[in-house]
Structure 1
């Protein structure tokens, strides 16, 4: 160990702190010696007085070293050398005054030698040990030749051997500890830099990230997660599901804890009101999130941490739709002439052929042609309707009467029993939505529902509800198997369909009509035990109407 400038700042701080501990210990030893040796004044005035004076000098020197080490942190080697030299000199004086080896004060040499072994280079520590050993041997030889006494020479030699062995062992241990501290300091610096880098990356990433315990307590979260959940600056210290708006997130997390599976989960988080009436969450309405859960592996440490990755699916869906609409907009202008006219000719020719051809094979082929002509024509009508941004009707629409008429029309058109479609109590609720637009949106949703429902009583349900922000919602649910997360991620994209007879524009058109009326259409997953169907299907279409004017 040396006093090279290559030592890290943390190692130098440790050396100065150890030197301060060394000086404090010296003060304690000086006080103990002063109290103990001061009693010798009554027995031996000369030697007792000299011992007390030496102890007083030692105490004053120790206080001076303490002040110097605290205020003047420079020239570490010089301060340490001076302190060790004073220690050896004072202890030697006390040793002589107390009568030499038989006094037992030789043990005091271990204090400065241990300090030198810890704080000084090995050469200086061994030099201090050799000085103490030579002094003990010289004092013993002086008594033999000059005073004709028989001191324990063997004991002096053993003390010297013990000094050298102790200094060597303590110095090597101190050097190893200092290297380990430097390594730990370097690793700590690297870890701090890595944490700063991770913090920058996590803060800048677009996906929301939450670190959650098994009890649902959120330990940390990045800014994207706060934006998605509408938490402002509060992203820690709360529990998932503590508010009604967070309940879908909590239920999805608990379901994953019970049965961890790979894959995404979709939930809808809405603003909610606390007991004091304070509205929390995103004020701009519901947010549809795609969730992924990952367990944090902590071998040997039972921390129980999981990471929740959140992705705002609405923004991704809107981006995909805009990309498709950009190309579709260029196509819309020429569809009327380039597609509808040839399509009308094909349909007319098919009708004429149907009058002359009556064989089973010809009828089947003509039916295929007619069905596909009707399908393409319906697609053209849907595309043309997308370009018509009709100004919605701003008059209030009474939901109860509207839903009753819609149910009667739908059941009559599809030949359904009256009890298959169940309408919830809408009371006197009214919404701002164009009746023709809402009629088309609900017929589209009911058409999808009847395709998958069991057609048992109340297998299709339409019921109004109200969220925490005071907005009226209309839920459309059936007892079918529900929509898988893979299909849900493309559900409202134009031209995406899972049916061979569909155009892929129905749900997209329904959402566009809702947006045109300041409303929102979404497919939500609800993790409630009262979900319909044998598979506990929890998905439903939800129309969130605009707030009352």
Structure 2
């Protein structure tokens, strides 16, 4: 069975009806849907999210007008304008004829002219009413040319109606010839050049025929000259209208492309801002927050997120320090390049420190003052941690180089001291030699510790280890080394799960971390039974190993430097123990920290290590158990 041609194919079969606005195309990517223009977020075919309602506040009046203009295709807007003009002409024509017949002034003309005017006015009203959907095809897609029915109901009807009025309705007082300009102009704008010239040619032939008809009364040359001049004017109007329409189409195509590029750039900027780790706020002179990315909303809230903008920066008492900085910067017109430190006091008593950098946007006039303030917010703890990590990395590289250079002199000193000790006879001399040997060993331990955590070492290959068995064996060995009674009177208490639990950690490194924590805890403990506790708590995803002691609570000014290198409260301490523990834990994706437990516990000082749980194979489960008896 033969297939019927599609409407698109039928329309494509009449290229003569295409208008100049076909160059604009009908791509959906260059049009703003009504919901996006209204401010409601909506997913677009390209994957971007439509502009939020807050974006409209940054658009100037001219930009809003341009956005509103591009919401509809140009053909639709101009076609509606012509339909409105036809309605106005029809109503004016009907009103003039009705007034002429009612008043009776002059020669009102035949009665059929009044009826024709009424019919034309009614036809224009119907066409205007139906023209609301004129720019949509049968599939609801925008079109950019007049279909045959539209052409006949507009241009064709105007040529026929105004031609009849000119031929048979003109009197000495009324001339309908100027009305023929409207269909010529409409054809020049909304159809192709050939179709517009065809309309002008048809009207010219109509005028020449009327001149030939009237030439029977004489004055042949004047009538033909007048018809020729008017026809030439119609050709000029058709050509000029087509050229102006072509230029309008080109300019609108360029403007639409610029709008699409600007829209894509705005969407890219919005995406970048939303994904930034730093908080971004846009505030006006009244303290009204217009834009806030998720990071900024998280920093302004004690927990969770603050509501989406717009909101007042003066609306929360905790934000007053930040609002004061913004208002002061608006007054001075500048801010420090390095930023300012602002602390937000929350009602719960906690405070959050922020590093704030401010930038201003200016109006187009150079002499105008700043209008908007852009704030870049960083958590002061992150800034300090980043600075501390940079310093530690630099210090680690320097220390590793120094430690490497110290090894050879230390070996020479140790060997020379050993040779010298063989010839010493007096106790005082031997005591001095032993002092040299002890300090050499201490320096060697420092060198080994520094080289252990020095950057640039070989990559770490984590292997599953049974943490339960390792903690049990390490605690047993440490208790024997510390000469602790291995019974109920022991200062060490160990609480382990019955089943093996695995973690990705090197056994030697984990043993070193645990021994370091046991040494620190026992050193500051009261030495009473149970003064040092070791607990291993297994959860589905993580494993927590904690070492607690009943020593005095660590002061706050000491707590903040616990895991920094070369910090120690002992005169003979290296200050590298906890720092090495932290570096070793970070190698295997674990974390170590300190906290003070509540007063209901005897051992309140707790250092805890959090590791990820990994499954154990049969070869990873050793036959080791906790043994605290001799």
TM-score by length of 1: 0.55
- Please say if 1:26 is aligned against 2:86: yes
- Please say if 1:232 is aligned against 2:293: no
2:76 is matched with 16
Q: Which moved more, 1:206-215 or 1:65-74?
A: 65-74
Over residues 209-257 of structure 1, what are the superposed CA-to-partner deviations in whole Å (9 max), with x where a residue is unaligned?
1112244332110011111111734243334354332122233334545
- Please say if 1:311 is aligned against 2:311: no
Aligned with 2:357: secondary structure? strand
Does the 8 A contact of 1:125 with 1:167 survive in 2? yes
Does the 8 A contact of 2:278 with 2:296 survive in 1? yes
Q: Give how far 1:173 is off.
A: 2.0
Aligned with 1:289: secondary structure? strand
Does the 8 A contact of 1:19 with 1:80 survive in 2? no
Task: Please give the residue correspondences for 1:17-96 in structure 2 after superposition, counting only pairs within 5 Å.
Answer: 17-39=77-99, 47-71=109-133, 73-74=136-137, 76-82=146-152, 83-96=154-167
Q: Give how far 1:147 is off.
A: 6.0
Aligned with 2:245: secondary structure? helix
Does the 8 A contact of 1:80 with 1:120 survive in 2? no
Q: Work out which of the residue numbers 547, 553, 561 in structure 2 matches 1:437.
A: 553
**Unaligned stretches of 5+ in structure 1?**
273-282, 329-338, 346-351, 357-365, 393-433, 446-489, 519-549
User: How many positions carry a matched residue from both structures?
Assistant: 380
Q: Which moved more, 1:146-155 or 1:287-296?
A: 146-155
Q: Distance in 2 between matches of 1:17 and 1:389?
A: 86
Q: Give how far 1:205 is off.
A: 1.9
Q: Give how far 1:116 is off.
A: 1.8
Q: Give how far 1:312 is off.
A: 1.8
Q: Distance in 2 between matches of 1:300 and 1:96?
A: 61
Aligned with 2:553: secondary structure? helix
Q: Give how far 1:263 is off.
A: 0.8
Q: Distance in 2 between matches of 1:160 and 1:386?
A: 110
Does the 8 A contact of 2:83 with 2:128 survive in 1? yes
Aligned with 1:296: secondary structure? strand
Does the 8 A contact of 2:21 with 2:249 survive in 1? no
Q: Work out which of the residue numbers 252, 269, 274 in structure 1 matches 2:344.
A: 269
Does the 8 A contact of 1:290 with 1:312 survive in 2? yes
Q: Give how far 1:137 is off.
A: 3.4
Q: Distance in 2 between matches of 1:249 and 1:389?
A: 46
Does the 8 A contact of 2:185 with 2:241 survive in 1? yes
- Please say if 1:252 is aligned against 2:357: no
TM-score by length of 2: 0.49
Q: Give how far 1:33 is off.
A: 1.2
- Call closer, same or farther: CA 1:106–1:56 in 2, change over 3 Å: same
- Please say if 1:294 is aligned against 2:359: yes
CA RMSD of aligned residues (A): 5.1
Q: Which moved more, 1:76-85 or 1:233-242?
A: 233-242
Q: Distance in 1 between matches of 2:518 and 2:175?
A: 108
Q: Give how far 1:87 is off.
A: 0.3
Does the 8 A contact of 1:217 with 1:240 survive in 2? yes
Q: Distance in 1 between matches of 2:123 and 2:205?
A: 24
Does the 8 A contact of 2:97 with 2:108 survive in 1? no
Q: Distance in 2 between matches of 1:22 and 1:143?
A: 33
- Call closer, same or farther: CA 1:161–1:385 in 2, change over 3 Å: farther
1:206 is matched with 277
Aligned with 2:354: secondary structure? strand
Does the 8 A contact of 1:38 with 1:48 survive in 2? no
- Call closer, same or farther: CA 1:513–1:260 in 2, change over 3 Å: same
Does the 8 A contact of 2:553 with 2:596 survive in 1? no
Over residues 305-349 of structure 1, what are the superposed CA-to-partner deviations in whole Å (9 max), with x where a residue is unaligned?
222111123246568889979x99xxxxxxxxxx9xx9xx9xxxx
Aligned with 2:335: secondary structure? coil
Aligned with 2:364: secondary structure? coil
2:237 is matched with 166
Does the 8 A contact of 1:30 with 1:55 survive in 2? yes
1:108 is matched with 179
Does the 8 A contact of 2:170 with 2:176 survive in 1? no
Aligned with 1:494: secondary structure? coil
**Unaligned stretches of 5+ in structure 2?**
1-18, 32-69, 138-144, 397-409, 418-427, 451-515, 526-549, 580-591, 599-630
Q: Distance in 2 between matches of 1:142 and 1:194?
A: 66
Aligned with 1:291: secondary structure? strand
Does the 8 A contact of 1:266 with 1:291 survive in 2? yes
Q: Distance in 1 between matches of 2:24 and 2:375?
A: 44
Does the 8 A contact of 1:95 with 1:106 survive in 2? yes
Does the 8 A contact of 2:86 with 2:124 survive in 1? yes
1:516 is matched with 596
Does the 8 A contact of 2:281 with 2:292 survive in 1? yes
Does the 8 A contact of 2:208 with 2:227 survive in 1? yes
Q: Which moved more, 1:85-94 or 1:50-59?
A: 50-59
Aligned with 1:35: secondary structure? helix
Q: Give how far 1:46 is off.
A: 10
Does the 8 A contact of 1:140 with 1:151 survive in 2? no
Q: Distance in 2 between matches of 1:225 and 1:288?
A: 13
Q: Distance in 2 between matches of 1:298 and 1:4?
A: 38
Aligned with 1:261: secondary structure? coil
Q: Give how far 1:513 is off.
A: 10
Aligned with 2:358: secondary structure? strand
